[in-house]
Structure 1
Amino acid sequence: MHFLLLGASGRTGQHVVSELLSQGHTAVALVRTSSSLVPRPGLTVVTGSPLSKPDIRSALIAAPLSPSAAIITLNTVRKSDSPFAAQLSPPRFLADSCANACEVLEQAGIYRVVVMSTAGVGDSWGNLPLLSKAFMGWTNVKYALEDHGLVDKEIRLTKMNWTLVRAVRLQFDDQKSTNMKVDVKTLGSKGVGMSLTDSVSVSSVASFLAKVAVEGLFNRSAVVVTN
Structure 2
Amino acid sequence: MHFLLLGASGRTGQHVVSELLSQGYTAVALVRTSSSLTPRPGLTIVTGSPLSKSDIRNALFAVPSLSPSAAIITLNTVPQVSPPRFLADSCANVCEVLEHAGIRRIVVMSTAGVGDSWDNLPWLSKAFLSWTNVKYALEDHSLVDREIRLTKMDWTLVRAVRLQFDDQKLDATKREVKMLGSNGVGMSLSDSVSVTSVASFLVKVAVEGLLVKSAVVITN
Q: Find runs of 4+ consecutive structure 1 residues off by over 2 angstroms.
A: none
Give identity over the alignment, percent. 84
Letter matched to residue 74 of structure 2: T
Distance in 2, Cα, partners of 1:125 & 1:99: 23
In structure 2, the gaps of 5 or more residues are: none
Q: CA deviation at 1:181?
A: 1.1
Distance in 2, Cα, partners of 1:13 & 1:157: 26
Distance in 1, Cα, partners of 2:135 & 2:2: 34
Distance in 2, Cα, partners of 1:180 & 1:188: 24
Distance in 2, Cα, partners of 1:9 & 1:211: 20
Aligned to 1:99: 92
- Residues 167, 194 of structure 2: 8 Å contact kept: no
- Residues 180, 201 of structure 1: 8 Å contact kept: no
Q: Residue 148 in 1 paired to residue 141 in 2? A: yes
Question: What SS is found at the alignment partner of 1:153?
Answer: helix
Within a 5 Å distance, the mapping from 1:30-109 to structure 2 comes to: 30-63=30-63, 64-78=65-79, 87-109=80-102
Distance in 1, Cα, partners of 2:187 & 2:142: 19
Q: Residue 185 in 1 paired to residue 178 in 2? A: yes
Offset from partner CA, 1:157-196 (integer Å, 9 cap, x none): 0000000000000011378xxx741120000000000000
Distance in 2, Cα, partners of 1:50 & 1:153: 19
- Residues 2, 67 of structure 1: 8 Å contact kept: yes
Aligned to 2:219: 226
Q: Which one is further off, 59-68 or 94-103?
A: 59-68
In structure 1, the gaps of 5 or more residues are: 79-86
Question: What SS is found at the alignment partner of 1:71?
Answer: strand
Distance in 2, Cα, partners of 1:60 & 1:157: 22
Distance in 1, Cα, partners of 2:112 & 2:84: 20
- Residues 32, 48 of structure 1: 8 Å contact kept: yes
Within a 5 Å distance, the mapping from 1:112-151 to structure 2 comes to: 112-151=105-144
Question: What SS is found at the alignment partner of 2:216?
Answer: strand
Letter matched to residue 59 of structure 2: A
- Residues 27, 44 of structure 1: 8 Å contact kept: yes
- Residues 51, 97 of structure 1: 8 Å contact kept: yes
Question: What SS is found at the alignment partner of 1:192?
Answer: coil
RMSD of the alignment, in Å?
1.1
- Residues 164, 193 of structure 2: 8 Å contact kept: yes
Aligned to 1:21: 21
Aligned to 1:8: 8
